């Protein structure tokens, strides 16, 4: 199954629960297969399937369809931390205790956490993130900036700096 491990990791970050993440990925694939005729050849498959996963997650949390605007507060979980380019944030993530990072990520608002996860962990471009979250690229950039700042502040608070 294409992208299974990456989808599972993202789902696990969002749900903070292994079994719920497995169910979310399974439901995502079922919806993708059922709605595959709506996939436009030549468009970004990865962004399409991540958007299905994300919408399924928000639907399961609220009973409503996920829209372009989402609640500003919520939570997530763990993963490995690859970064394409070294940034102060990626260096910080590499050096910090994994538990501290997991707790800090869990405290981020869902919109901030998901944009950070898609950029840093899933290595999506701004354009792919924009398509996945159905938001303008400018919003992706501003959320990413806020997410990095918030993560830094939370880590400093938890670390006692």
H and E: helices and strands count for the chain: 8, 0
Instruction: With respect to residue 81, please indicate whether it lies within any of the assigned structural domains.
Output: no
Residue 19 has pLDDT above 80, yes or no: yes
Residue 156 is encoded by which pair of tokens? 């400093």
Write out pLDDT tens, residues 29-53.
899 888 887 777 878 888 888 889 9
pLDDT for 79-138, tens place per residue? 444 444 555 565 555 554 667 777 888 899 989 999 998 998 888 899 999 998 999 999
Sorting pLDDT into bands at 50, 70 and 90, what band is 2?
low
The answer as to whether 46 is a domain residue is yes
- CATH number of the domain to which 132 belongs: 1.10.10.10
Which residue range is the domain that position 26 belongs to?
Answer: 4-62
Q: Is the pLDDT of residue 140 over 90?
A: yes
Domain count, the chain: 2
In a domain, 121, yes or no: yes
Report the C-alpha gap between 78 and 101 in whole angstroms: 8
Condensed to tens digits (0 to 9), the pLDDT of residues 7-16 reads 898 888 888 8
SS3 82: coil
57-73 confidence digits (pLDDT tens)? 888 776 544 444 444 34
Q: Do residues 114 and 52 share a domain?
A: no
Closest by CA position to 48, among listed 134, 116, 120, 142: 134
Q: What's the pLDDT band for 161 if we cut at 50, 70, 90?
A: low
Query: Are 92 and 154 contained in the same domain?
Result: yes
CATH number, residue 9: 1.10.1740.10
Selection from 81, 84, 86 nearest residue 101 by Cα: 81
Q: Are 13 and 77 in contact (CB under 8 A)?
A: yes
């Amino acid at each position: 199954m294409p992208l299974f491990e990456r989808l599972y990791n993202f789902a696990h970050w969002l749900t903070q629960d292994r079994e719920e993440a497995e169910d979310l990925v399974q439901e995502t694939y079922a919806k993708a297969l059922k709605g595959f005729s709506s996939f436009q050849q030549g468009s970004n498959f990865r962004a399409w399937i991540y958007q299905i996963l994300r919408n399924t997650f928000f639907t399961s949390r609220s009973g409503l369809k996920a829209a372009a605007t989402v609640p500003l507060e919520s939570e997530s979980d763990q993963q490995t931390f690859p970064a394409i380019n070294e940034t102060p944030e990626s260096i910080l993530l590499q050096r910090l205790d994994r538990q501290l990072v997991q707790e800090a990520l869990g405290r981020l608002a869902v919109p901030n956490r998901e944009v950070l996860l898609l950029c840093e962990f899933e290595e999506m471009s701004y354009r792919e993130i924009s398509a996945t979250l159905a938001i303008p690229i400018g919003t992706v950039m501003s959320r990413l900036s806020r997410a990095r700042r918030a993560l830094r502040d939370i880590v400093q608070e938890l670390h006692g700096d």
